[in-house]
Structure 1
């Protein structure tokens, strides 16, 4: 049995969801971003309890196909940007289409309709959050960050960063408060 969970965007989220299921007496077969596979079905009572626990933790159990597809798109983009830098050189539309077996035009229209933003803008927002993270760590130069995130140039990265945040990367690096956003708030 598969469960789809909204706002499950990091390894810590996966651990929390797994622990909640174990408290209900279930041992998940796998816990991935946005998706849990169980060996057996949850009873309706267990599902209600689990749903309430998830909501208290900021997650949401997803029941309809459209919402599940949108969550899968978001999770693939988050995974691509934050965990698989080497794949950033691939074409986003091809990557999503091949991974989700859906036409990209269908996915982008659905995503825009439901989320009020495009897949591309969501992708850019995730990349900018990654840039913020790397700037805060202060281990890479802006040139290295641009190369790692597959920007064509430092100027392109800086321009996109300023457009999204209103700040230049160097100004952002110098300020000390409210630098980053949680991935589920992007």
Structure 2
């Protein structure tokens, strides 16, 4: 049976995977695999079924991505979010641009230009925004020191993390930590 890969925008966490899997099961679709940003379906998909899929995705805050460039951008975002929010160490000792290019199987300069022209920000800025959102999360949990957070997210030093945090949020990490109403954003809005 042929597999159809559906690329899905705003699918940024493990809960998203569960929602998509559950909704597709309700639609009687045979699922091969669901992962961040995509679902592989074994069932034949008629136009009527595709409309149902689009509707159920939209009801849950997702969007089906059709064109190749949009799919590539969604995959770049998924790679970055997965690496920063769902792995032990963000980008380890490897360069994020090398990692993204390797994962995509495409030249980084092409990916960078495509991303910037469509999203209006650079891949680097998107990565920084994701890292800062992760720093906020870790500060709220209060389980790691700033030094440990800096190491986990691949910063060269606590000073570098603090400077970047202040540039993005307008606050120092310690001031943010003291705020009662920590202003975190959903990942699909970063």
How do 1:1-186 residues align onto structure 2 when only pairs under 5 Å count? 1-86=4-89, 88-89=91-92, 90-186=94-190
Q: TM-score when scaled to structure 2? A: 0.95
Structure 1 gap segments, 5+ residues each: none
Partner-residue secondary structure (3-state), 1:30: strand
Distance in 2 separating the partners of 1:181 and 1:37: 29
1:24 is displaced (CA, Å) by 0.9
1:93 is displaced (CA, Å) by 1.1
Partner-residue secondary structure (3-state), 2:143: coil
Q: TM-score when scaled to structure 1? A: 0.97
Distance in 1 separating the partners of 2:6 and 2:111: 21
Number of aligned residue pairs: give it: 186
1:179 is displaced (CA, Å) by 2.6
Distance in 1 separating the partners of 2:12 and 2:128: 17
Distance in 2 separating the partners of 1:147 and 1:20: 38
1:28 is displaced (CA, Å) by 1.1
1:97 is displaced (CA, Å) by 0.9
Provide Cα deviations, 1:134-169, integer angstroms capped at 9, x if missing partner. 100001111111111111111110000000011100
Structure 2 gap segments, 5+ residues each: none
Distance in 1 separating the partners of 2:115 and 2:85: 20
1:43 is displaced (CA, Å) by 1.2
Structure with higher helix content:
1
- Aligned-pair Cα RMSD in Å: 1.0
